[in-house]
Amino acid sequence: MSKPVIIALDWDAFYCSVEEHFDPRLRNVAFAVRQKGIVCTCNYAARALGVKKLQSLAVALKTVSDLIVVNGEDLSRYRDASKELWMFVRKMVWGGKVERLGLDELFLDVSDMIEYNLEFLRESQYDDFFFRLSRDDETGFSCTSAAVAGLYATQNMPDLTTEDGLRLILASQLCQHVRSRIFTEKGYTSSGGISTGKVLAKMAGAVHKPNVQTVLDPVFASEFLKEKDIGCIPGIGRKYRANILNSVYGSVDDVDASVDAIIRLVDETKLIGLFGDFLGKKIYHLLHGTDTTPVNPTPDIPTQISIEDTFGSLKTLPDVRSVLHELMTLLYERMQIDLMSFGTWTAHARTIRLSLRYRAAAYGVRTSKSDAVPSVIYSAAEKEEIVRAVVNKTLMPLFHKLVAEPRFDLALLNVAVVNIEKQPAFAEITGFLGKRQRVNDETELPKRIEFETEDGDDEDDDEEGYQTCEICGQRSLRFAVEAHRRFHEPE
């Protein structure tokens, strides 16, 4: 069995690109998109001037005093653009094997498209040939197998003399074609990564940005990974990084967190001891570039949407309430991404479920209770109000039904919506991306948002109540910080 061929796409400065579609004059200026006091992203012109993603707005304005700032708190236009781009790309991939990750990333499993086209390449004696995008008609594009389209992640290009190398070279041509169609037909630039797994493809795609694609032959995976901090491997992240470093060095500070160092010190057995069988093996493969998690095509409407968090120990009702508030906020945002199109709920979830695991319970043993999804979720009320209502009227009562005793000690909370049905009234709505908003040249660019911050150097704690954990860097709402801090405490 040959290895799968995966393309990862990530839209460049995504929220900025969406804003530029609404106001094309933004294309020519440095600007940032803000949410609360944070620059959630900025365009590449602003990055060239020193503005950074996820910087506090106060700091960004110190760097570029006349920075244009656009309010990005209403996610609906980003959600709609994201969905439209996903649908567009999905039509180009056989079997619709496209998985969405968040709003701006896609994984395409193009293995069978590449396999089929390898034959035509052989027929053409490994010369220029016609890449067929369809089995039934003659759509496709001319390409050459002699060179990689785009750049490569290490010093070496894929080996043209091996079948795996050839597959990646064909996939790079396909990726180029897909990206160029996205640009010409939808007006979005993207960065692409091409490899034999999702994680390697995603990491390769991040090497050269923006509007560039990068190939990584897995033969060079260990060379590619060896100097990287283990925390930048998607799927490891800060939490597991801290666990690994603490177990190896007894500290997370001033230690060698490179992949090379860690794989010398930690073998598979040790990782299984730290994280359990499933996660331990997964982390082992992530560190060795051999993760084989398949592309899981995102359905039009998911069967369930679920958000959870784990804790060292969660013991008090106020902590439970604050965690539920955080989880419900994330769940509501996910529901909006997955179940809304162009401002309309195209599907409703009927049931909401709260699950938990006691600290003393065996791994995988959960208890849960469900209730009807309250109608407030689909109302026009503000997010904060909706979340508060669901926590108070549905989730806390469910929690009390699940946990009758005054003393408890929890290791996991999960909130999910299930029983998701398409709204019968929903008719296909065509998108806005093809249309450019008419702009009156007389109108001015968006005014800089007047935004007062206490003198802006304190990036750790913003006035909206977020605080950054000094141990792992996670941003939590202030009321959740206590619960989060306890997570770091030794048991």
Degrees, nearest 5: CA angle 38-476-334: 80
Q: How far is the CB of 53 from ligand DCP (least distance, A)?
A: 6
Residue 54 sits in the site that holds ligand DCP (CB under 6 A): yes
- Stretch 219-258 residues interacting with Mg ion (CB under 5 A): none
CA nearest 18: which of 82, 102, 105?
82
The sign of the torsion formed by the CA atoms of 192, 194, 197, 200 equals negative
Three-class SS state of 219: helix
Q: Identify which range of 11-19, 237-245, 247-255, 458-466 contacts ligand DCP by CB under 6 A.
A: 11-19
- Answer for the pair 236, 230: CB distance below 8 angstroms, yes or no: yes
Closer of 46 and 225 to ligand DCP (Cβ) = 46
Closer of 191 and 394 to Mg ion (Cβ) = 191
48 CB burial (10 A radius; 0-12, 13-18, 19+): exposed
- Sheet arrangement for strand 31-35: 38-42, 31-35, 68-71
Residue 10 sits in the site that holds ligand DCP (CB under 6 A): yes
Closer of 203 and 395 to ligand DCP (Cβ) = 203
Residue 481 sits in the site that holds ligand DCP (CB under 6 A): no
Residue whose structure tokens are 């010093």: 155
| Omega before residue 294 within 30° of 0, cis | no
Residue 14 sits in the site that holds Mg ion (CB under 5 A): yes
Q: How far is the CB of 109 from ligand DCP (least distance, A)?
A: 21
Residue 84 sits in the site that holds ligand DCP (CB under 6 A): no
277-288 vs 268-275: helix axis angle to the nearest 10?
Answer: 140
Closer of 329 and 394 to ligand DCP (Cβ) = 329
Three-class SS state of 323: helix
Among 10, 19, 84, 291, binds Mg ion (CB under 5 A): 10
Q: Identify which range of 96-104, 344-352, 412-420, 436-444 contacts Mg ion by CB under 5 A.
A: 96-104
Closer of 99 and 104 to Mg ion (Cβ) = 104
Q: Identify which range of 12-20, 90-98, 245-253, 332-340 contacts ligand DCP by CB under 6 A.
A: 12-20
Q: How far is the CB of 149 from Mg ion (least distance, A)?
A: 20
Closer of 209 and 321 to ligand DCP (Cβ) = 209
Reported residue count of the chain is 491
Distance CA 183, CA 450 (A): 34
Residues 6+ apart with CB under 8 A from 75: 103, 333, 336, 337
| Omega before residue 218 within 30° of 0, cis | no
Task: Name the closest residue to ligand DCP (Cβ).
Answer: 41
Q: How far is the CB of 42 from ligand DCP (least distance, A)?
A: 8
Q: How far is the CB of 236 from ligand DCP (least distance, A)?
A: 17
Residue 104 sits in the site that holds ligand DCP (CB under 6 A): yes
Q: Which residues bind ligand DCP (CB under 6 A)?
A: 10-15, 35, 40-41, 53-54, 103-104, 209-210
